[in-house]
Chain A
Amino acid sequence: MGRLQLSDLPRLARRYPLVFIGGGLLTLLIILALAAPLYAGDPVNINPFKRLQPPSAEMWFGSDNLGRDVFARTIFGARISLMVGLLSAACAALAGLLIGVIAGYSRSFDNVVMRIMDGLMSIPTILLAIALISLTGPGIGILIVAIAIPETPAVARLVRSVVLGVRQRPYVEAALCGGARLPKVLWRHILPSTVPALMVQGATVCASAILTEAGLSFLGVGVPPEIPSWGNMIASSRLYLAIAPLTIFAPGICLAVTVLAVNLLGDGLRDMFDPRSKRRR
């Protein structure tokens, strides 16, 4: 295995097209979002006398019900939606991995931890999030926590079920019988086999976090209404489908494309990292 060269890219792209499409899209979105202040207008500037305007040279996507620039809000909205999605996924994946591996490996822990997970998981995501948010009032931090908490058990359970399956495998049993140390077995044999599940699940969590944010905003308990997020924009513009369709289509399409990119990336990474699935090809 030589070092990765730039000239290898086309070959890799042909081999893992999903990673490149999904990852490329996502990278592009992140760059666009980060560079927003350089080219997009002011997303919070209100103009009560320029409500629901059609697209113009000044405001490319027209204006919303408070006369704000829909284009600027869509671009700035990417920051919020991506942040909520990625941070929720990172929190849930890390916590879930830790809990899942421990639970899957140690029987004594398993019962206690998984019962707590069951308890958390048994409360539907959206309801738990609404209840948590009504506790503190809307905010991005609490939103990320509220989405990550109910997603954690799902990751933990999946990781655990993979670990449970793997540790019964002959090669793991053999390694343990052969006197291999536990951390080494965990690292060499068990952890790698959780990676595909974690990748698929991590992408799922990220995608569903973005969707949950939209759902919570739809119910009126998401990100504070002042802050532009795609969920907020869709929720507050749903009445204007007939009058100013771009107010809902712009964030809606961006949302769908972003979630799609995340999902594609997850699928692609799965194929790439899972040596056994690669062997099949």
Chain B
Amino acid sequence: MTISRREIIKTGLAAGAAISIPSVLRAKAASGSTPTVHMVKANDLRIFDPIFTATNVTADHGLAIYDTLFGLDSKFMPQPQMVGKWSVSADRKTYTFELRDGLAWHDDTPVTAGDCVASIRRWGQVAPGGQLIMERAGDISKKDDKTFVISLKEPLGILIDLLADLSPPCLFIMREKDASRPATEQVTTNIGSGPFRFNDALVKPGASYTYDRNEKYVPRQEPADGLAGGKIVKVDRIIWDNISDPQTAFAALQAGEIDYVEQPPNDLLSVIESDPNLVVDVLDKSGKSMLLRLNCLQKPFDNVKARQAMLHLIDQEAFMSVLAPKYGASVTSIFGGDTLYSNDENTGWYKKGGDPEKAKQLFKEAGYAGEKVVVLQATDWAPSNDGSQLLAAALRNIGINVELAPSDWGGLSTRRAKKDSIENGGWSMFITSEADFSLANPLATPLLLANGESAWYGWPKNDEYEALRAKWATVATLEERKALARQMQGLWWDFVGDVRLGHYVSPMARRKTLTDIIGLPQVVPMWNMQKA
């Protein structure tokens, strides 16, 4: 027995030593570290090609390694970025662009006008703004190595705005051999001309992605302002750690293993604020709108009265108090909470909702006879998971026969595409969100279409509205566009293309030592940020 006791003590000592040694190493590593920033993004970077997908995290990846022809400044005005000089002909149909000096791919070959032409064409296959340009363009061609021309069949006043748009997919310039692939096929390399190089050797899909400073990048001379100005990288390396469990990400932030968490859960914000080492910041001041899509093809929401009933029923304050406490508010406009085109046209009749009696009556007028109403609930996205339960409670309260259909977002994506009746696997409603920045541009967002079966899921149809929307590209002044927006919204709330649940901003959390992050809607640029 003595032997075993001694053995135990020896083992204990060995284990103790093993534990204490690495702690010493850890202290050393922390003090002499190079500035590496660890970020936890809102989602995993599953796709690397920012034209192939419209997800925000891939747009951020694109923003790091690719460059853009124009960039929006903090006032959302387009400024030249890769373009040095540009001009437009007197008939406003021919645009000539000349690239600035010093642009080079990460493989050290120079950026040419041919690359830009190929990239515009590929982007034009998928981005709504790009599709509009391709429709109007007679020819897009390179003149010489540094100059290319876009010739239009008729003037398009918003051409430069479309080229600079930051709603994904954004116009990132890729090498001609990458950009000559169809947009439905992913590029296989990550070679751009942007301020960061993607470190292919260190990539661990699903776990971490590494971006190194591009030492050879030549920034513009102007100071950084939004996506415009000089893109100066002030850290050596940025690593995106994909931490899927929000509690773990929060613990890692508190322990200093992570510098930045893009979407901390709303209910933890007060805890984060009370930590002296952490800061809560809103990068996207314009925020997002949460909305409810109704299936206009199937009972009961094929009847406009049932859709109007939903406007009466939804109490935005209740939804926001659960989905975005402190950072949410009610919203009246289909163009978002506080954009150029936000307005309150045609909202007086249902006020701010929350009137179950009126909703009940309208359902009755719509001839509702106990048909099953299926709410698609994505359990892996908190607003849909919680919001759908709230929705079901509100509907049950007025005697609607609701059924929640829980699945992950992937399952929801498949089912929402079904136009069939409920009995045949169809659906009635689901919750989603869209950046206000995109909602302020009815040409760029598919959510504001009302062309029936070719519209976005829910398929609202209103020809009068569509005729107004078609005018958007041709209207010249801001005032005229604002008036048009009011007219469009007036119709929208009558035929109820969707129902708004509220407007909110998503704060991010960071260590105090990480500063100077550029705040914009939709994207989070990584140049300019500093780590003490």
Contacts and interface: CB of A to CB of B under 8 A. Distances in A.
Interface stretch (A103-111, A180-188, A239-247): A239-247
Q: Which of B247, B271, B379, B386 has the most CB of A within 10 A?
A: B379
Interface in A215-246: 220-221, 224-226, 238-243
A67 B268 CA distance: 17
B411 A134 contact: yes
A242 B271 CA distance: 8
A48 B405 contact: no
A66 B406 contact: no
A138 B322 contact: no
A220 B321 contact: no
Interface string A34-55: 0000000000111011011000
B322 A48 contact: yes
Interface in A83-139: 134, 137-138
Given A48-B390, A66-B386, A224 B322 contact: no
B385 interface: yes
Contact of A225 (B267, B268, B385, B411): B385
Contacts of A52: 267
Interface residues of A, number: 24
Given A134-B411, A225-B377, A225-B385, A66 B247 contact: no
Contact of A138 (B325, B390, B406): B406
B265 interface: yes
A117 to B, nearest CB: 30
Given A226-B392, A226-B404, A51 B265 contact: no
B438 to A, nearest CB: 27
Contacts of B408: 134, 220-221
In the A-B complex, the 5 residue pairs with the smallest Cβ-Cβ separation, listed nearest first, are A48-B318, A46-B393, A48-B322, A224-B406, A48-B321
Interface of A: 44-46, 48-49, 51-52, 65-67, 134, 137-138, 220-221, 224-226, 238-243
Given A48-B322, A242-B271, 20 more contacts: A44-B393, A46-B390, A48-B318, A48-B321, A49-B318, A49-B321, A51-B322, A51-B325, A65-B322, A66-B389, A67-B322, A137-B406, A137-B407, A225-B379, A225-B385, A225-B406, A239-B267, A240-B267, A242-B268, A243-B267
Interface of B: 246-247, 250, 265, 267-268, 270-271, 318-319, 321-322, 325, 377, 379-380, 385-386, 389-390, 392-393, 404-408, 411
17 contacts: A44-B393, A46-B389, A48-B321, A49-B318, A66-B386, A66-B389, A134-B411, A138-B406, A138-B407, A220-B379, A220-B408, A221-B379, A225-B379, A225-B385, A225-B406, A238-B247, A239-B250
